[in-house]
């Protein structure tokens, strides 16, 4: 026993010290050489991939994105990895194995070298944190030295998609005040700490956040009312609607929709709709068409539509309109072939929300509260991940 204890002490004393991780940037963009290896990337989100020419290594690609919440994952055996950017607008978060996250804020046109990882297997994940607000970003991949070994990431069995406005993007959720300048809003938005990402990570699921602040299904908030709504933007990779989006591997089992920005403010002269009745009629019709398109893309998905508690809607005649609208949307969904359409209401948590983020949006605590509510609701639906 004494001999075994002495051997254990010797092993601890002679074991190599933990690696000291280093992060350096190279704005000259000379750190990636032609002999390096490009890591295969697991991409989740709406991204356009463009091949990059020499002197970058063969297979190098630029990943251009605009929708929020996209992320890139890779794995390798080695001691360091280099990331390439052309993005002076967005904030990213880099996760290496289980180490503390590394913030990469507006990296610009540069290469970021993460070293001192130790010669072993590593997982890297680059998350887009900020919302684009109309500005595209470009991440140009992960690179390792020629002697290192690239690995392929296994696809996750579970997929979940979220469609809606700012509540899903983490709009100003890190802010400590409600009145924010645009720059403060941009720098305190955190999609990866908003409730959709928290819910997906709880289940170990891949996730797409097809959300855009201020956008309703067919009618947006006043400041961007002339812009196309989510139903018009959804089929595309970018908001200018020039590049159609298609991914045969994206087949979420759950799709959550929050589409209430349409009813922000009364209808005004010059709008398409003379009154709220006309707006609601078009909204219900568009909702049915939109769900049919979602079902065509993901035939096994359950559709969850955030819905207010109807007993709380006043005046009563307006309550009746929403009851009729829910019935019509459910009928259209079933007619399209959707096996399960649900209308969860967050009524029980509304009073708990502090709403101290920018423009009275949810703060980080509120995002956790919303995530816990949705997790509870999903857990109460047996078979929902298996298309039942």
Q: What is the pLDDT of residues 223-262, one digit of tens each?
A: 999 999 999 999 999 999 999 999 999 999 999 999 989 9
Given the candidates 3.20.20.140, 3.40.50.720, 2.60.40.420, 3.40.50.1110, the CATH classification of the domain at 159-386 is: 3.40.50.1110
Architecture in CATH of 19-151:
Sandwich (2.60)
Report yes or no: 68 and 132 within 8 Å, Cβ to Cβ.
yes
Dihedral Cα 294, 295, 297, 299, nearest 10 deg: 150
Report yes or no: 288 and 309 within 8 Å, Cβ to Cβ.
no
Mean pLDDT over 311-327 rounds to: 86
Domain ranges in the chain with CATH number 3.40.50.1110? 159-386
Listed in order, strand segments (DSSP E) in 53-136 are 61-65, 71-78, 81-87, 91-96, 102-105, 108-115, 120-128
Helices 316-336 and 276-297 cross at an angle (nearest 10°) of 20
Please count the other Cβ atoms lying within 10 Å of the Cβ belonging to residue 236: 17
The mean pLDDT of the chain is: 92
- Indicate if the pLDDT at residue 92 is higher than 90: yes
Phi, psi of 257 (to 5 degrees): -125, 130
Phi, psi of 147 (to 5 degrees): -85, -10
Q: Which residue has the tokens 């959804």?
A: 234
Dihedral Cα 200, 204, 205, 208, nearest 10 deg: 50
Residues 6+ apart with CB under 8 A from 42: 72, 73, 74, 153, 155
Chain center to CA of 16: 39
Residues 103 and 257: their CA atoms lie apart, in Å, by 30
Residue among 130, 166, 175, 210 flagged as catalytic: 166
Residues 6+ apart with CB under 8 A from 315: none
pLDDT tens-digit readout, 274-317: 999 999 999 999 999 999 999 999 999 999 999 988 778 878 88
- Indicate if the pLDDT at residue 15 is higher than 80: no
Token pair belonging to 232 = 């018009």
pLDDT tens-digit readout, 124-148: 999 999 999 999 999 999 999 999 9
Residues 371 and 358: their CA atoms lie apart, in Å, by 19
Among this protein's residues, is 166 annotated catalytic?
yes
**b or e along 322-340 (b: 16 or more beta carbons within 10 Å of the residue's beta carbon)?**
eeebbebbbebbeebebeb
- Indicate if the pLDDT at residue 7 is higher than 50: no
Domain ranges in the chain with CATH number 2.60.120.260? 19-151
- DSSP helix/strand/coil, 175: coil
Residues 197 and 68: their CA atoms lie apart, in Å, by 11
More confidently predicted of 312 and 58: 58
Give residue 388's pLDDT. 60
- Burial of 302 by CB count in 10 Å (0-12 exposed, 13-18 middle, 19+ buried)? buried
Q: Which residue has the tokens 């929020």?
A: 68
- DSSP helix/strand/coil, 152: coil
Token pair belonging to 50 = 């463009």
Peptide bond into 378 cis (omega under 30): no
Mean pLDDT over 50-70 rounds to: 97
Residues 159 and 294: their CA atoms lie apart, in Å, by 14
| β-pairing verdict for 341-342 and 302-305 | parallel
End-to-end alpha-carbon separation of the chain, Å?
A: 57
């Amino acid at each position: 026993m004494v001999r075994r204890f002495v051997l254990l002490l010797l092993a601890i004393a002679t074991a190599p010290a933990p690696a000291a991780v280093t992060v350096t940037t190279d704005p000259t963009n000379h750190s990636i050489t032609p002999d390096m290896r490009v890591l295969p990337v697991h991409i989740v989100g709406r991204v356009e991939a463009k091949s990059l020419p020499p002197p970058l290594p063969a297979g190098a690609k630029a990943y251009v994105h605009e929708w929020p919440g996209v992320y890139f994952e890779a794995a390798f055996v080695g001691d360091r990895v280099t990331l390439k950017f052309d993005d002076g607008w967005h904030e990213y978060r880099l996760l290496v194995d289980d180490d503390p996250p590394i913030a990469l804020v507006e990296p610009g046109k540069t290469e970021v070298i993460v070293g001192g990882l130790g010669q072993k297997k590593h997982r890297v994940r680059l998350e887009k944190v900020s919302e684009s607000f109309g500005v595209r970003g470009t991440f140009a991949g992960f690179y390792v030295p020629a002697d290192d070994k690239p690995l392929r990431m296994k696809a996750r069995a579970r997929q979940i998609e979220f469609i809606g406005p700012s509540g899903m993007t983490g709009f100003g959720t890190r802010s400590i005040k409600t009145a924010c300048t645009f720059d403060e809003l941009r720098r305190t938005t955190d999609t990866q700490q908003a409730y959709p990402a928290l819910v997906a990570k709880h289940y170990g699921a891949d996730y797409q956040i097809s959300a855009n602040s201020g956008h309703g299904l067919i009618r947006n908030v006043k400041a961007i009312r002339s812009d196309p709504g989510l139903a018009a933007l959804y089929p595309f990779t970018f908001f200018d609607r020039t590049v159609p989006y298609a991914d045969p591997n994206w087949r979420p089992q759950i799709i959550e929709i929050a589409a209430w920005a349409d009813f922000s403010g009364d209808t005004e002269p010059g709008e398409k709709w003379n009154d709220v009745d006309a707006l609601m009629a078009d909204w219900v019709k568009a909702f049915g068409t939109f769900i049919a398109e979602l079902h065509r893309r993901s035939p096994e998905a359950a559709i969850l539509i955030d819905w207010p508690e109807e007993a709380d809607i006043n005046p009563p005649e307006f309550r009746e309109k929403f009851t009729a609208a829910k019935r019509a949307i459910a009928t259209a969904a079933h007619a399209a072939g959707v096996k399960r359409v649900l209308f969860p209401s967050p009524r029980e948590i509304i009073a708990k929300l502090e709403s101290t983020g920018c423009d009275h949006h949810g703060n980080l605590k509120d995002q956790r509260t919303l995530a816990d509510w949705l997790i509870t609701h999903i857990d109460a639906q047996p078979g929902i991940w298996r298309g039942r």
